[in-house]
Amino acid sequence: MQPKKETPAPKSPNMWDSEAKYYSLMTLMEVDGTNKQLDCIPLEPDFVVLDCGCGPGRVAIQAAKRVRHVICLDSSERMLEECRKNCAAAGVENVSFVLADWQETEIGRTIPEVDVVIQSRGGGGPSTLDMLRKAARRYAATVMWSDGAPCLPESRSKIFVGCYSEEDMERYPELRPFDRKRRPPRGPGGPGMGPRPDALPMGGRALTEALEAHGIEAHVTTVDEGWNRRFATKEEAYEWLLQLSRHPELVDLERFRANVDTYLTPREGGYEFFLPTQSDVTWFATR
């Protein structure tokens, strides 16, 4: 009698797949800020870099212009698709793409050892010091929002605040303005993960204290940055930024335009959109 074949369990949907389009658009407004962040990390032309939780390629594209090769790793197929498209559009070719979960990555099998691991805004989830030391022969770096600085969902909320009716927000709760208080607290292992008592904090003073406890010197720089993009006209700005809405057909356009105008400044030949943010860049030697 032949053993019964087990049907593989259906693959759980990746929460980031539905966000890929919007994060890709936001990436296009963070080029200047991303380069300011990378200026704080000791990158050399012959380095191989792992962009852990690469998303749509915000860090990977700019890092690839500075180093020999960048490995773009993400567990979301849609995010990796956007990363491929954005790298191609930017003319960046010294990149490779790996669909994998950082928490399950095997150095030497899933990815090779690299010179630098960069985790931007929690990309890939929490790491242990052991993981980083195995992966990076030189440095590990994190980029996290500074205390109180608006994250991407909060910045998007600023553009659409007051633009949806209560009825629409009841039907589509994702349209409600991002509120950190409504989000469940992040445990040591991150959302949906078991406890990881050996995991390093994702950033801030907690990370530097954890590194100090291991006798590791952390280098921390706070970077003033923001979303910025040039537009020929206000109408072009409105049309482009409206793409960030999950339901553009429900947007109160008058309120939306007033919100956008808050961040538009007349410049020669058009307008500049700038929404300020701030990040802390931390790096340390792994070996």
For residues 269 and 271, give the distance between their C-alpha atoms in angstroms, rounded to a whole number: 7
CA distance 124 to 146: 19
Q: Is the pLDDT of residue 119 over 90?
A: yes
Residue 266's pLDDT is: 97
Confidence at residue 148, expressed as pLDDT on a 0 to 100 scale: 84
> CATH no. for residue 106?
3.40.50.150
pLDDT of 3 higher than 90:
no
User: Residue 16: its pLDDT value, please?
Assistant: 86
Q: Tell me the per-residue pLDDT of 224-273, one tens digit each, with 9 for 90 and over.
A: 999 999 999 999 999 999 999 999 999 999 999 999 999 999 999 999 99
Residue 74 domain flag: yes
Evaluate if residue 49 carries a pLDDT over 90: yes
% of the chain beyond a pLDDT of 90 = 83
Q: Around Cβ 132, how many Cβ atoms within 10 Å?
A: 21
Q: Is residue 28 part of a domain?
A: yes
Question: What is the predicted pLDDT for the residue at 261?
Answer: 98
Residue 12 within a domain: no
Are 175 and 164 a contacting pair, CB within 8 Å?
A: yes
- From the CA atom positions of the chain, what is the Rg in Å? 20
- Cα–Cα distance, 263 to 191 (Å, whole number): 33
- Whether 147 is in a domain gets the answer yes
Whether residue 9 lies inside any domain: the answer is no
What's the CA angle centered on 244, arms 31 and 178, to 5 degrees? 95
Predicted pLDDT at 179: 82
pLDDT higher than threshold 70 for residue 195: no
Give the mean pLDDT of 195-223: 91
Token pair listed for 281 = 């860049």
* Domain span including residue 62: 17-285
- Pair type for strands 114-120 and 95-99: unpaired
Q: What is the pLDDT of residue 196?
A: 67
What is the rounded distance in angstroms from the CA atom of residue 285 to the CA atom of residue 287? 6
* pLDDT for res 180: 75
pLDDT of residue 11: 53
Q: What is the pLDDT of residues 28-38, one digit of tens each?
A: 999 999 999 99
Banded pLDDT at 116 (limits 50, 70, 90): very high
The number of domains in the chain is 1
Residue-level pLDDT at 13: 63
Three-state SS for the chain is CCCCCCCCCCCCCCCCHHHHHHHHHHHCCCHHHHHHHHCCCCCCCCCEEEEECCCCCHHHHHHHCCCCEEEEEECCHHHHHHHHHHHHHCCCCCEEEEECCHHHCCECCCECCEEEEEEECCCCCCCEHHHHHHHEEEEEEEEEECCCCCCHHHHHHHHHCCCCCHHHHHHCHHHCCCCHHHCCCCCCCCCCCCCCCCECCCCHHHHHHHHHHCCCCCEEEEEEEEEEEEECCHHHHHHHHHHHCCCHHHCCHHHHHHHHHCCEEEECCEEEEEEEEEEEEEEEECC
What pLDDT is recorded for position 182?
59
More confident residue, 11 or 122: 122
> Tell me: the pLDDT tens digits for 207-217?
999 999 999 99
Closest CA relative to residue 207, chosen from 117, 143, 138, 260? 143
Which of 240, 243, 244, 234 minimizes the C-alpha distance to 264? Answer: 234
Q: Quick check: 8 pLDDT over 50?
A: no
Mean pLDDT of the chain: 91
Instruction: Say if CB 59 and CB 38 are below 8 A apart.
Output: yes
Comparing 13-22, 112-121, 185-194, the range with the smallest average pLDDT is: 185-194
In sequence order, which residues have a C-beta less than 8 Å from that of residue 228 and are 6 or more positions away?
A: 29, 32, 33, 272, 273, 274, 275
Q: What is the pLDDT of residue 72?
A: 98
Is residue 168 in a domain? yes
Is residue 185 predicted with pLDDT exceeding 80? no
Within-domain flag for 11:
no
pLDDT at residue number 88 = 97
Q: Is residue 187 part of a domain?
A: yes
